[in-house]
Amino acid sequence: MTSPIAVVVLAAGAGTRMKSTIPKVLHPLAGWPMLRHVLDNVGRLKLARIVGVISPGAKAVAAAFAPHPTAVQRRPLGTGDAAKAALGALEGHRGPVLVVFGDAPLVTTASMRRLVAACRKEKAAVGVLGFIARDPSPYGRLIVHRDRLEKIVESKDADEAEKAIDFCNSGVMCLDGELVAALLGAIRNDNAKREFYLTDAVAIACATGHKAIAVEGEEGEFQGINSRAELASAERALQHRLRAAALAGGVTMTDPETVWLAADTRLAADVTIGPCVRFGPGVSVASNVEIRAFCDIEGARIGRGAVVGPFARVRPGSDLAEGVHIGNFVELKATKMGKGAKANHLAYLGDSDIGAASNIGAGTIAVNYDGYGKWRTVVAAEAFVGSNSSLVAPVRIGKGANVTAGSVITEDVPAGAVAFGRARQVTKKGRAAPLRAKLKARAAAAKRGKKK
Catalytic residue ranges? 345
Identify what 353 binds: Ca ion, ligand UD1, none; CB under 5 to 8 Å per kind.
none
Of 153 and 242, the one with the shorter C-beta distance to ligand UD1 is: 153
Nearest approach, Cβ of 147 to ligand UD1 (angstroms)?
20
* Contacts to ligand UD1 by CB under 6 A: 10-13, 53, 73, 76-79, 81-82, 101-103, 139-140, 152, 154, 168-171, 197-199, 224
d(CA 425, CA 406): 12
273 with 253: CB under 8 angstroms? Answer: yes
Of 131 and 260, the one with the shorter C-beta distance to ligand UD1 is: 131
* Nearest position to Ca ion, beta carbon: 224
Identify what 173 binds: Ca ion, ligand UD1, none; CB under 5 to 8 Å per kind.
none
d(CA 51, CA 379): 50
Rg (CA), the chain: 31
**Closest Cα to residue 323, out of 311, 306, 338, 345?**
306
Of 96 and 224, the one with the shorter C-beta distance to Ca ion is: 224
Identify what 177 binds: ligand UD1, Ca ion, none; CB under 5 to 8 Å per kind.
none
Of the chain, the end-to-end C-alpha distance in Å amounts to: 104
* Contacts to Ca ion by CB under 5 A: 224
Nearest approach, Cβ of 13 to ligand UD1 (angstroms)?
3
Nearest approach, Cβ of 221 to ligand UD1 (angstroms)?
11
Of 11 and 297, the one with the shorter C-beta distance to ligand UD1 is: 11
**Closest Cα to residue 27, out of 199, 188, 232, 176?**
232
Identify what 73 binds: Ca ion, ligand UD1, none; CB under 5 to 8 Å per kind.
ligand UD1
Question: What's the burial of 322, exposed, middle or buried (CB within 10 Å: 0-12/13-18/19+)?
Answer: middle
* Nearest position to ligand UD1, beta carbon: 140
Identify what 239 binds: Ca ion, ligand UD1, none; CB under 5 to 8 Å per kind.
none
d(CA 175, CA 196): 16
The CA-based dihedral angle spanning residues 365, 370, 372, 378, taken in that order and rounded to the nearest 10 degrees:
-50
Nearest approach, Cβ of 220 to Ca ion (angstroms)?
16
- Give the orientation angle of helix 34-43 with respect to helix 109-122, to 10 degrees: 50
Of 224 and 299, the one with the shorter C-beta distance to Ca ion is: 224
d(CA 152, CA 169): 8
Nearest approach, Cβ of 220 to ligand UD1 (angstroms)?
13
For 28, 80, 224, 257, 409, the CA distances from 228, given in Å and listed in that order, are 11, 26, 11, 21, 49
For 50, 98, 174, 265, the CA distances from 45, given in Å and listed in that order, are 11, 10, 13, 22
Of 11 and 180, the one with the shorter C-beta distance to ligand UD1 is: 11
Nearest approach, Cβ of 315 to ligand UD1 (angstroms)?
34
d(CA 246, CA 255): 13
Identify what 70 binds: Ca ion, ligand UD1, none; CB under 5 to 8 Å per kind.
none
